[in-house]
Copies of this chain bind each other. A is one copy, B any other.
Amino acid sequence: MTRKAAEDYGYDYNIPLDEFFQFAISVDCVIYGYHEGKVKVMLIKRGADPYKGKWALPGDLVYPKEALDEAARRVLTELTGLEEIYMKQVHTFGAVDRHTLGRVVTLGYMALIEMYKHPLKADGWAEEVGWFEIHEIPDLAFDHNEIFSESLKFLKQSLESHSPVGFEMMPKKFTLLDYLELTEYVLNKRLDKANFRKKLLAQDFIEPLEEVQKNVKHRPAKLYKINKKKIELET
């Protein structure tokens, strides 16, 4: 593409057009999972400089012919082995000096997975993979702490407004108390069991099963499931 051609396209700059086509785009994913009462985020330990040895969000550069959501989904699938993952673009970060390799603008994505489903494995460029409680996130590489914060803000807002996202971290069958504990952990405050139950059951996408809990040393709780079709109808 020549400068002249670019002008025909409606651009007229004092610097050559090629100068503009020097950005790289990356996606960084904040992957949330729920395990034993705690909500955790998957981090990878960087195996090379810059930030060698530091924990970072999993992410990758976007390929030249790849859509943005597609790139995020690729990262998620490669890392977790899961195909169907709830995923949402949260915010785009592009400080001039945020990456040492050049001008890399990154899109922060939030993803929610059923944690027990996926094998914990380090991928290509990561030394190590780990899950960190969301209230104890270490100092991360690049501007990843900021990306994490934005995603957590979104997750908190979703749970506060009872929008049906937290279920993405739950197993197919779960008790209402399980979900209460997830919500309490993320919001970092106690909620009234009875009222939480009523609020949840008022939503029509949550459906009771005939089944109950097994192997508990008290009255077993009823199990519930999510009707995803009804969620789609709402939105």
Contact = CB atoms under 8 A, between A and B. Distances in A.
Consensus secondary structure, chain A interface: loop
A90 to B, nearest CB: 10
A48 B7 CA distance: 8
B64 A25 contact: no
Interface residues of A, number: 47
A10 B53 CA distance: 11
A96 interface: yes
Nearest to A99: B9
A225 interface: no
A163 to B, nearest CB: 12
Contact of A92 (B48, B50, B65, B89): B89
Given A9-B101, A19-B64, 15 more contacts: A1-B102, A9-B48, A9-B100, A10-B46, A10-B47, A10-B50, A17-B101, A21-B24, A22-B22, A23-B24, A25-B25, A67-B95, A67-B96, A68-B92, A92-B107
